[in-house]
């Protein structure tokens, strides 16, 4: 039985602009600028399957967004996926979804983005201070978000607009000044590589670049008109992002070949330097840093609401402190907790490790949410649905198939490193079980 613990109510003062910018701002962060290295390394330095992976990941994300929107609008409460899992599957699984997001997904995303920011800043200050700078960035964003959701939302809007500038420059000048002599779709994959296994690895890498479109669900309780704004923000945002990602990656290949992009830790910066020279490339690099900073803000902004959701139900040690709101009507302790876990993870300094960890942990519960839409349709046909996923059940099945493929590939087909990371993610999620039962006994 749920115990109501509301020590304060967060204001419904966020509109469509903030909702859309949270989707776009969380999604367009570092992946499109840094992931070409991992993608073209996995393909053996060939472009074809890498570009195809961006298209496939976009289709899976759009199918997921269309499916996710039905349950997000049906349950427009702060907390996002843990809220939906609780309603559909029960409180235990709902808690594990929230626990996984609190200790794995959001901190891993925040730390990966902070590390990417610091690595990009190394162009200006050297690599000595990469990890300290990543931690400093995290706690600076934590401080900004404690000033109120309107400030956090405004930061998201500003940085979302700013982050489009380097993308537009890379696209326009890539097609204009690039030689265009490098192949885009051939060869598909390097010799001796298994396309089924490689595609799974590519989707994990590429879907990191799409991560964040569900984040708006976590702030649904603060939206003024969630039934109107959520589907526009989620579906429209993901469709725009898919188009931008595919175009910018083709633009990269107008400037540098896939084999060279595979050897560069900051491929977008290398493309910018090739297009604009050393000075111009550094200016574009500043724009990339702004993009990464905005995404990092978005994940702290939405991730703290998941912690608040769990604490509001008395499910965490120290729930009284985590659920308390400050005078700006935001939960500062929940924000600080997400930031602290992220700071600890950032000590690894491993961008690709952190992103793979985030993707695996998130898609396990994304897939359960997609399945839950079908389950809820069967069990609760009486509920009034302001939005219904189109082409049901085909679209949900596409999203579910994509999710299962990613999970199975990581667990059984992608090698020992991926297996260890995936099993570690599962074990850390299961650590939440004794915490759940302890909190239940206390209540």
* pLDDT tens, position by position, 30-55: 677 878 888 998 898 888 898 899 88
Nearest 5°: phi and psi at 254?
Answer: -80, -15
* Domain contains 375: yes
130-133: long-range pairs with CB below 8 Å, 24+? 130/349, 131/346, 131/347, 131/349
* pLDDT over threshold 70, residue 130: yes
């569900």: which residue's tokens?
Answer: 214
Question: Quick one: pLDDT at residue 7?
Answer: 41
Question: Quick one: pLDDT at residue 1?
Answer: 40
* Domain contains 2: no
Q: If pLDDT is split at 50, 70 and 90, which confidence band does 79 have?
A: low
* pLDDT over threshold 80, residue 418: no
For residue 137, which of 302, 342, 308, 330 has the smallest C-alpha distance?
342
Q: Sort 48 into a burial class: Cβ within 10 Å, 0-12 / 13-18 / 19+.
A: middle
* Domain contains 418: yes
Between these two residues, 100 and 305, which has the higher pLDDT value? 100
Q: How large is the average pLDDT for residues 236-250? A: 83
* Domain contains 205: yes
CATH number, position 358: 1.20.1740.10
Domain count, the chain: 1
Question: Quick one: pLDDT at residue 359?
Answer: 81
Question: Quick one: pLDDT at residue 232?
Answer: 74
Q: Where are the alpha helices (DSSP H) in 313-415?
A: 319-323, 332-345, 351-379, 394-412
**Mean pLDDT lowest among 174-178, 236-240, 322-326:** 236-240
pLDDT digit string (tens) for 154-207? 666 676 667 678 888 888 888 888 777 777 878 888 888 888 888 888 888 888
Question: Quick one: pLDDT at residue 386?
Answer: 75
Q: If pLDDT is split at 50, 70 and 90, which confidence band does 221 have?
A: low
Q: What is the Cα Rg of the chain in Å?
A: 21
* pLDDT over threshold 90, residue 25: no
* Domain contains 234: yes
CA-to-CA dists, residue 351 to 51, 208, 307, 390, angstroms: 21, 11, 24, 36
Domain of 87? 16-442
Question: Quick one: pLDDT at residue 29?
Answer: 64
Question: Quick one: pLDDT at residue 341?
Answer: 92
* Domain contains 1: no
Ranked by mean pLDDT, the top range of 24-33, 176-185, 320-329, 396-405 is 396-405
* Domain contains 301: yes
Q: If pLDDT is split at 50, 70 and 90, which confidence band does 226 have?
A: low
* Domain contains 5: no
Return mean pLDDT, the chain: 81
* pLDDT over threshold 50, residue 362: yes
Helix and strand totals (H; E) in the chain: 21, 0
Angle between helices 149-177 and 16-27 (to 10 degrees): 50
pTM over 0.85: no
For residue 10, which of 227, 222, 154 has the smallest C-alpha distance?
222
Question: Quick one: pLDDT at residue 218?
Answer: 54
């Amino acid at each position: 039985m749920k115990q109501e613990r509301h020590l304060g109510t967060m204001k419904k003062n966020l509109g469509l602009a903030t909702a859309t910018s949270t989707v776009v701002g969380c999604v367009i962060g570092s992946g499109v600028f840094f992931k070409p290295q991992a993608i073209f390394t996995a393909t053996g330095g060939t472009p074809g399957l890498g570009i195809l992976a961006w298209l496939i990941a976009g289709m899976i994300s759009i199918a997921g967004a269309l499916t996710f929107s039905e349950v997000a609008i049906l349950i427009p409460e702060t907390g996002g996926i843990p809220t939906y899992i609780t309603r559909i599957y029960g409180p235990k699984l709902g808690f594990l979804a929230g626990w996984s997001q609190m200790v794995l997904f959001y901190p891993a995303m925040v730390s990966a983005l902070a590390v990417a920011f610091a690595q990009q800043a190394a162009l200006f200050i050297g690599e000595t201070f990469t990890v300290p700078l990543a931690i400093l960035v995290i706690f600076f964003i934590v401080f900004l978000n404690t000033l109120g959701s309107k400030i956090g939302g405004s930061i998201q809007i500003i940085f979302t607009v700013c982050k489009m500038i380097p993308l537009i420059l890379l696209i326009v000048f890539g097609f204009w000044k690039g030689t265009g002599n490098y192949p885009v779709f051939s060869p598909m994959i390097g010799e001796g590589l298994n396309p089924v296994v490689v595609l799974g690895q590519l989707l994990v890498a590429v879907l990191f670049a799409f991560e964040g479109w569900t984040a708006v669900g976590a702030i649904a309780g603060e939206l003024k008109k969630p039934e109107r704004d959520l589907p526009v923000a989620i579906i429209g945002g993901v469709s725009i992002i898919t188009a931008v990602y595919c175009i910018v990656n083709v633009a990269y290949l107008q400037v540098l070949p896939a084999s060279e992009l595979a050897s560069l830790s900051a491929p977008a910066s290398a493309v910018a330097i090739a297009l604009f020279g050393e000075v111009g490339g550094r200016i574009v690099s500043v724009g990339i840093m702004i993009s990464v900073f905005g995404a990092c803000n978005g994940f702290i902004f939405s991730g703290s609401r998941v912690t608040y959701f769990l604490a509001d139900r008395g499910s965490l040690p120290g729930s009284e402190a985590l659920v308390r709101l400050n005078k700006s009507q935001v939960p500062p302790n929940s924000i600080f907790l997400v930031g602290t876990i992220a700071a600890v993870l950032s000590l690894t300094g491993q961008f690709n490790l952190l992103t793979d960890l985030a993707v695996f942990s998130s898609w396990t519960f994304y897939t359960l949410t997609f399945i839950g839409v079908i389950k809820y349709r069967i069990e609760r046909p009486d509920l009034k649905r302001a939005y219904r996923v189109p082409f049901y059940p085909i679209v949900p099945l596409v999203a579910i198939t994509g999710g299962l493929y990613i999970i199975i590939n990581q667990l059984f087909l992608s090698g020992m490193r991926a297996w260890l990371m995936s099993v570690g993610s599962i074990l850390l999620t299961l650590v939440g079980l004794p915490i759940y039962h302890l909190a239940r006994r206390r209540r």
